[in-house]
Amino acid sequence: MEDPNNVGKPLNKADWEVDFYSRPVIEIDGKKRWELLISSTQDFSGAETFRWEKKCPANEVNSIWLSEALKEALEDSSKQGWAFPKRLRCWRTSMKTMITKASEKVGIEVIESRRTFSLHEWLLQRDKDVYPNEEGYISAPIPPNPSIDFTQPEPLPEALRGDAWSFSSLSIEAIRGAREWPMEFNALLPIKKSLEGNIEIPGLRMFSKTRALPLSAWLSGLEPVRLLVENNQLLLESGQESLWLVTDMSKDYAEKVKDSLINGKANADGIQFIAIQTSPEEESFTGFWMLKDIDLI
């Protein structure tokens, strides 16, 4: 039931980011805690974030428990003035089947994607400030989430190959105004207020005079995560475990791009971007995605 105080107000709209996994806390029954965490996807509009958590008994870790918990979360989000989420993103391959099955029961589309940046920030905060203060906390190193075993990068699909590309940068001050840019496709991320406006964000500009719009649609469906350089190649990680070859580069240019990405991670909170335009001279964007270089836990 919707909160009467929210009647007539515009609903907050956002996708969900979900993690259903064990935590570094041993419960009184001697079993590791399982927990469902849900966070709404953030941009930099300043809108509040919906967060929801629930502990799960270790002997009830299944899609039945999870679907009931999702129903509770949906009810609570509605009371707080949130619209029904269209999509739910999750990244842990080991939980993919269970989360998909539970989400289908409540009518939410599941996207296997590491574009779960809002949830990642919350997990880091809980690992630092919440779990260590709880009885049963495991202070010894916990085995990390298994790293994704990428295969050899695949060349970008034909549909994603533009006429030309360039590695570029935009200032944080410029990107903070991105909400006002006319764009057909975009995915924006929060920018910390502490970051100075003159800091440069590294990114990739792709150009296509006749196919900028379909190229943007294709890239949006890939769920782009981050750019990186390996073996003189510019690569794009996307989705849950996809790795794409954007282009080969000379050794000298590859080092230049790699240094720019490393400096961006150090100085700009890991933020990167991909932009699609009709030409290098065009000021507007057909598509603009903010990416982030993070290590999921």
Is there a single domain that holds both residue 188 and residue 72? Answer: no
Q: What is the pLDDT of residues 66-77, one digit of tens each?
A: 999 999 999 999
Task: Give pairs for 70-75: CB < 8 Å, separation 24+.
Answer: 70/102, 70/103, 70/105, 70/106, 70/108, 71/106, 73/36, 73/38, 74/106, 75/1
Q: What is the pLDDT of residues 209-224, one digit of tens each?
A: 999 999 999 999 999 9
What six digits make up the tokens of 132? 């260590």
Using an 8 Å Cβ cutoff, are 59 and 32 in contact?
no
Burial state string for 65-80 with b = 16 or more CB within 10 A and e = fewer than 16? bbbebbeebbeebbeb
Q: Of 133, 165, 183, which one is at a domain's C-terminal end?
A: 133
Residue 123 C-beta-side C-alpha neighbours within 13 Å: 23
Is there a single domain that holds both residue 127 and residue 198? Answer: no
Count how many domains the chain has. 2
Q: What is the pLDDT of residues 117-150, one digit of tens each?
A: 999 999 999 999 999 999 999 986 545 554 555 6
CATH of the domain at 75: 3.30.420.10
The whole-angstrom separation of Cα 185 and Cα 79 is 30
Q: What is the pLDDT of residues 43-91, one digit of tens each?
A: 866 668 999 999 999 999 999 999 999 999 999 999 999 999 999 999 9
- Domain extent, residue 61, equals 4-133
Q: What is the pLDDT of residues 83-115, one digit of tens each?
A: 999 999 999 999 999 999 999 999 999 999 999
Is there a single domain that holds both residue 73 and residue 191? Answer: no
86: in domain: yes
Is there a single domain that holds both residue 61 and residue 115? Answer: yes
Using an 8 Å Cβ cutoff, are 51 and 122 in contact?
yes
Is there a single domain that holds both residue 161 and residue 287? Answer: yes
Q: Of 100, 133, 166, which one is at a domain's C-terminal end?
A: 133
146: in domain: no
Is there a single domain that holds both residue 179 and residue 230? Answer: yes
172: in domain: yes
Is there a single domain that holds both residue 199 and residue 263? Answer: yes
297: in domain: no
* Whole-number average pLDDT of the chain: 90
Is there a single domain that holds both residue 160 and residue 117? Answer: no
138: in domain: no
